[in-house]
Amino acid sequence: MKRYIVYSKIKFIALVLFKALYAAAFVGFALILQWLVNTITADGATADQLFFCVGIAIGYVAVFTAILLLKDKASTAYINKAVMLLRNDLTHSLLHERYEDFASNDTAKYLSHLTNDIKTVAVSGFNSVITLPEEIFTFVFAVAAAFFINYVVALTMLGLTLLIFIVPVVFNKPLNRANVRLSDAVKQYTAALKQTFLGIDVVKNFGSEERTEREIARINETLCKKNTVLDKLNLYAGDVGIFIVVLLQLGSIAIAGYMMLQSVILIGAVIAVVQLSGNMYSPLMQIAGKAALISGIRELDETLLAMAQPPEAQGEKLFGFERGIRVENVGFSYPDHEDLTLKNVSAAFEKGKKYLIVGKSGSGKSTLLKLIGKTFNGYVGKIEIDGVDYKNISERELYKNIAFAQQKSYLFDLTVRENIDFNGTGDAQLLEHAVEIAELRDFVLAQKNGLDEQISEEINQISGGEKQRVGLARAIYKDTDILLLDEVTSSLDKETAYRVEKNILALRDKTVLNVSHKLHADLLEKYDYICVMDGGKIVDFAPPAALLKNNALSQYMDA
């Protein structure tokens, strides 16, 4: 938390000094009251003295109010900047996390961290820490003012402060548990909403609105209960604190009143003690309460800070793509699955050549492509690009050479142009080329605003086949040496799928690995090699002519 609280040492020091000025002015008001009361109650006091004292007090209050407003404005701006920096670091960390690690968690968890949990840390963490100097200065100045009035009163008031620390001792652990449980409940609720909205067509098709509503209501009820528990604990801590502060103030007033009756202090000092008791006990109560809040979010804070750590840059540099990709004795199983999806797979893919990968469903085609695309890393064996081991290369470095178009292509809430030219490089010629290769010309012309038409994943405005072609165009536009294509024509009609595949095979100097279940007889010979997979193994890897000759592809041919 420290690096966000003190993101700017100069600004932080300036803010602390501002809070010290505010605390001094706040405590100073007690001495102003003492002076005012003693002046107007003294023998021989006049109306002119009264008006003069009141005028000074009003002026003091005006200056104090100005300091208060400026202090609050500066604090709010500082805290919001700290939260923004934390949110930016979390986003940076998540975006640069290995895909395999990112995909191992539900996105609802990340959304909860970036929304609800950050809000909790901002309110209970950042805000508490930033206001601590204010409370500490107020307490210190109040103690100093109390000693200025009378050391016996001051020592008595200090002794009574020990009662305040009952609150953090009693409430720290329950608050910590309640915060963690609320965070978990928010994640479950977010996940339930997410899957319902993404699967709304299934919900409606099965007439499951009422059942789904009941399930979400059940999760929402759990969330409400967890939230209520936390709110009650916060309220109880606050109420107990108020009770203790009132008792302490009454005790201080009783001591001061007794000393006035003994003629040790004047009535003005009693009034000052009334004010100072609030200046002394309330800040301590706030400090104790904030300590409880900070302790209560400790686990949450540690989780967010761990997530916000930037991933270490690692891996060798790749200087282009010159020779090829080699897969050697690779085995792989998905997390939580004992059976191997790939078994002792070996193959070599040379630069500039076109490869078709076929096989039955579950044979390992897409998994092989994902390993070559470094989607997963937990494999045995070796994968190399130009002789460099994949495990020594960062995703970012590898992706400079690879474009991956998958069966399900995600559309961002952007224009068609922006979805294809995702990095905004603005190459009009390359954009035109990508549109032509993906057979998107008719789709673009059908849009009111052409390439500048706004599209979105969340709105069912375009078909699955059109989504696939936008995703393919995006991969083509990236203009890398290697194209990994996973069933990119599965949602297209036969004629369009044929044209798209023909266009891909006509790409010069591109290394293409195409997983497909739609085989067109007159296009097969345009591939350099066909890889046939079955049961997680490569059972054939040969030029098309050899496989066609022994009828090895008949079961995969498109009718």
| Tens digits of residue pLDDT in 266-275 | 888 888 888 8
240 lies in the same domain as 203: yes
Examine residue 509 and state whether it is found in any structural domain, yes or no: yes
Task: Supply the DSSP symbol for 310.
Answer: P
Residue 316 lies in a domain: no
Q: Rounded to an integer, what distance in angstroms lies between the CA atom of residue 205 and that of residue 366? A: 30
Same domain flag for 349 and 240:
no
Structure tokens at 438: 């993906």
Which of 308, 338, 365 is the C-terminal boundary of a domain? 308
The boundaries of the domain holding residue 298 are 2-308
In a domain, 119, yes or no: yes
Q: Do 369 and 274 have their domain in common?
A: no
What token pair was written down for 146?
A: 């109390």
216 and 257 housed in the same domain: yes
Stated as kind and residue range, the H or E segment containing 328 is: strand 324-332
- What CATH number does the domain containing 6 carry? 1.20.1560.10
Total domain count, the chain = 2
DSSP-assigned letter for residue 553: T
Strand-strand pairing, 511-515 and 482-486: parallel
Asked if residue 350 lies in contact with residue 321, where contact means CB atoms within 8 angstroms, the answer is: no
Q: Does residue 171 form part of some domain?
A: yes
273 and 395 co-located in one domain: no
Q: Is 141 exposed, middle or buried (0-12, 13-18, 19+ CB in 10 A)?
A: buried
535 domain-assigned: yes
Same domain for 199 and 331, yes or no, is no
Question: Do residues 311 and 394 touch, judged by C-beta distance below 8 A?
Answer: no
Are 333 and 454 within one domain? Answer: yes
Quick check: is 416 in a domain? yes
The CATH code of the domain that includes 344 is: 3.40.50.300
Note the pLDDT of residue 293.
Answer: 63
Are 237 and 384 found together in one domain? no
The pair of structure tokens assigned to 127 is 């805000």
Low-confidence stretches of the chain (pLDDT beneath 70): 1, 123, 167-168, 201, 205-206, 289, 292-301, 307, 310-315, 458-460, 556-559
In terms of domains, do 167 and 283 share one?
A: yes
pLDDT value for 559: 43
The Cα 365–Cα 362 span in angstroms is 8
Report the C-alpha gap between 164 and 158 in whole angstroms: 11
* 50 within domain boundaries: yes
Is residue 344 domain-resident?
yes
Using CA atoms, how far residue 264 sits from 43, 273, 339, in Å, is 18, 14, 88
pLDDT attached to residue 263: 84
Q: What is the pTM of this model?
A: 0.69
Q: What is the pLDDT of residue 300?
A: 62
Q: Which of 126, 266, 119 is nearest to 182 (CA)?
A: 119
Q: What is the DSSP string of 145-196?
A: HHHHH-HHHHHHHHHHGGGGGHHHHHHHHHHHHHHHHHHHHHHHHHHHHHHH
One domain for residues 404 and 291: no
**Domain end: 259, 274, 308, which one?**
308
CA-to-CA distance for 377 and 31, rounded, in angstroms?
69
Say if residue 439 is in the same domain as residue 379.
yes
Domain boundary among 308, 343, 363: 308
Tell me what pLDDT residue 314 has.
Answer: 61
Indicate the Cα dihedral angle 411, 412, 415, 420, nearest 10°: -60
Q: Are 304 and 361 in the same domain?
A: no
